[in-house]
């Protein structure tokens, strides 16, 4: 039997529903690859979404979206971070460098060049995050050991299993940077 209470309460029409809470309209400037951008800083927006969908910088990859694969790594003041786990507001006042910003004009970054020479990729999906992570590592540790490289890349997954060539690429880049004026 239908409860009388249900008959008395018609389903809520869309116009009767309480309005959704307003999302934040706070905005700020972020600096990406040397250019300033004015963006919304709503708390649910992470840096990866802004880079890919708003600024069109799709070199940074969306892998897991949960901080597990490293495909989304970018440099924040020279240190590799997972963009999918970085609220865009945390980038305000800092320099963001994506894979697109590593090269100097036509000249590849030494880590990019080393990955090419070592053939350190197959499908290439993990490669931008790997290169960014290696660039960050070599700033901190110019001549890393194999163990230090493995530790630094622990959060970067290559589904094609190209880890040996990636190791080779890191050593190549390390040698190139050491030989360049000012150590890169
Ligand atoms: S997409 Fe960010 S860690 Fe996987
Ligand atoms: S080259 Fe394919 S995932 Fe690493």
Give the number of the atom of ligand 2 that is nearest the alpha carbon of residue 123. 2
Paired tokens of 110 = 């030494």
Which of 17-31, 89-103, 170-184 has the weakest average pLDDT?
A: 17-31
Please state the domain extents for the chain: 27-101, 110-183
Give the CATH superfamily of 27-101: Beta-grasp domain (3.10.20.30)
Determine the pLDDT at residue 19: 45
Give the number of the atom of ligand 1 that is nearest the alpha carbon of residue 157. 4
Cross-strand partners of 30: 37
92-116: average pLDDT? 96
56 Cα–ligand 1 center, Å: 18
Which DSSP string corresponds to 3-38? -HHHHHSPPPPGGGSPPPPPPP--EEEEEETTEEEE
pLDDT one-digit tens code per residue, 36-67: 999 998 878 999 999 999 999 999 999 999 99
What is the percent of the chain where pLDDT is above 70? Answer: 85
126 Cα–ligand 2 center, Å: 5
Q: Which CATH class is domain 110-183?
A: mainly alpha
Per-residue pLDDT for 18 more than 60?
A: no
**Which residue of 64, 74, 87, 158 sits with most ligand 1 atoms within 8 Å of its CB, as the best mutation to test the pocket?**
64
Rg of the Cα atoms in the chain: 22
Which of 25-29, 130-134, 139-143 has the weakest average pLDDT?
A: 25-29
Determine the pLDDT at residue 5: 41
Determine the pLDDT at residue 182: 62
Q: What pTM value is reported for the model?
A: 0.85
**Which residue of 49, 59, 68, 98 sits with most ligand 1 atoms within 8 Å of its CB, as the best mutation to test the pocket?**
68
Give the number of the atom of ligand 1 that is nearest the alpha carbon of residue 67. 3
């Amino acid at each position: 039997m239908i409860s009388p209470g249900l008959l008395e309460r018609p389903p809520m029409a869309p116009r009767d529903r309480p309005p959704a809470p307003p999302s934040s309209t706070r905005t700020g400037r972020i600096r990406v690859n040397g250019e300033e951008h004015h963006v919304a800083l709503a708390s649910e927006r992470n840096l990866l979404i802004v880079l890919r969908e708003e600024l069109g910088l799709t070199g940074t990859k969306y892998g897991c979206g949960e901080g597990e694969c490293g495909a989304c790594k970018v440099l924040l003041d020279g240190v590799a971070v997972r963009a999918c786990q970085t609220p865009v507001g945390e980038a305000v006042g800092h320099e963001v460098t994506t894979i697109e910003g590593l090269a100097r004009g036509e000249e590849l970054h030494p880590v990019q060049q080393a990955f090419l020479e070592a053939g350190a990729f197959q499908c290439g999906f993990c490669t931008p995050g790997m290169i960014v992570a290696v660039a960050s590592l070599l700033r901190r540790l110019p001549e890393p050991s194999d163990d230090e490289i493995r530790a630094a890349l622990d959060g970067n997954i290559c589904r094609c299993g190209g880890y040996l060539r990636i190791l080779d690429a890191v050593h190549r880049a390390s040698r190139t940077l050491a030989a360049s004026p000012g150590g890169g």
